[in-house]
A and B are shown apart, each in its own frame.
Chain A
Amino acid sequence: MFQYDFCQAKTSDDVCRFLDTYGEHGRVVAGGTDLLVQIRDKDRRFESITNIMDITPLETEMRYVKEDGDELEIGALCTHTDLENDPLIRQYLPLLGEACATVGSPQIRNRGTIGGSICNASPAADPLTPLVASDAKVIIKGISGTREVKLSDFYHGKGQTDLGRGEFVLAFRVRKLEHGTGSAFTKLGRRKALAISRLNAAVVMRVIEDGSVASVSIAPGCIFTVPERVAKAEEVLTGSKPSEEDFQKAGEAVSAEMIERTGIRWSTEYKKPAVEAIVRDALEKAYAKAVLASAGKSEVRK
């Protein structure tokens, strides 16, 4: 266990000042479900920490889900349990709630926050892939004001975020799923509870009346150092009525992308078919929901 000083934030400006003052020696904590484990494990990356600021007192201003036109805004201090049960998330972004419901255990979901999950920058974070698939934006507060950055531009490498000195994440903005859209999140862990994702995938798909795919976004988790949609897999499906083989082909496009980026590893023999299956599952589920939705029996109600 490292030694550090502890304080609590009273205002969001306190947080910026704290982070600006301490730089790499300062950390903010919310749920603590990652940080306290990293500290205990004497993770080298955290050796330099001398000061920790608890930001959970900012719950009143940072723990909310609200509608803003065709977008949802999600406060960074929402816990996984909050999002799993939130009526707006259920209606307009169900894949995020599904992903949050698979995080850790009830105890972890009750404490861990969406902001912490995204800023901890693990490629295996469950809520990450749904947000990537839905083209989420990150609202960042710093000393000189707030700015917005696309989630896909938020990571610079494994464990590295776009946050500069004195900056922290306030909230996320995500477009509500459109009419005729289906979505899915699938995950492969070593067991049902308390299992970190070995692989996961999130899909958002819109179909038109004849059953052809108007648009699809495919975000695989855990396999890239920086999370991203896979355009080559999306192209396989866009514009036509997909068959079962097409879903498989899209899965293969994802595994090909994985191998292209990370090379052949000892785990590839297992991961290649597993990635393909996880993506195919997500596509099949999302398509079935999208077909129902476009016929008016919608998952997403307007």
Chain B
Amino acid sequence: MKKIEVHFTLNGKETTVTVDPNERLLDLLRDDLHMTGTKEGCGVGECGACTVILDGKAVTSCLVPAGSGEGRCVVTIEGIGSDGKLDPIQEAILDHHALQCGFCTPGFIVSAKALLDENPDPTKEEIKRAISGNLCRCTGYEQLVEAIYDAAQELRNVSGSRKIS
């Protein structure tokens, strides 16, 4: 099988990787680039642990062929937060003790980030829908919803935008 070259933007940086043709985006991230923040849970798109942002949308990287990343923009958990500072979503998750074992946490944060980038003022129902593709087997959902809700408020305060009701 012929190896393929994938050129894409990863967390804001132009990246080129040579991968096996049957790799998934998840394999490319974890095995080729050693970015292991993105987790593999089920491998069939049911659990959301491998969620990344692809061209602005949350997707499960276990269902994206690595080669389909060509020319696209990918944001992983490693690209959330900057200059050694946590993103407000991450801060809020700590404040709310919204993790137990932590395996699902990167996926939840990435889904939340995709939501807040698109909708800075979500209702709790909209938050629940946005994370409905992420499973937490420790079942800490309530704290996650509260944390994302607070993070949205914090982000709006920082950017100075007003809540429109």
Contact = CB atoms under 8 A, between A and B. Distances in A.
Interface of A: 1-8, 29, 31-33, 36-37, 39-41, 52, 54, 56-57, 81, 104-108, 110-111, 192-194
A193 B130 CA distance: 11
A110 to B, nearest CB: 4
Contacts of A110: 54, 57-59
Interface string B44-68: 1110100100100111101111111
Main secondary structure of the interface of A (DSSP, over half): mixed
Contacts of A1: 22
Given A5-B1, A54-B65, A192-B132, 7 more contacts: A3-B22, A6-B21, A6-B66, A7-B4, A107-B59, A110-B59, A194-B133
Interface string B22-39: 101000000000000000
A99 B145 CA distance: 26
B69 to A, nearest CB: 10
Main secondary structure of the interface of B (DSSP, over half): mixed
Contacts of B43: 40
A40 B44 contact: yes
A135 B133 CA distance: 32
B48 A105 contact: yes
7 contacts: A5-B21, A36-B24, A36-B44, A52-B65, A105-B60, A107-B51, A111-B57
A97 to B, nearest CB: 15
Given A3-B22, A6-B4, A56 B68 contact: yes
B76 interface: no
Contacts of B95: none
Interface of B: 1-2, 4, 21-22, 24, 43-46, 48, 51, 54, 57-60, 62-68, 70-71, 111, 114, 129-130, 132-134
A54 B132 contact: no
Contact of A6 (B65, B129, B132): B65
A111 B59 contact: yes
B163 to A, nearest CB: 23
B38 to A, nearest CB: 13
A105 B63 contact: no
Given A6-B21, A107-B48, A110-B58, A32 B132 contact: no
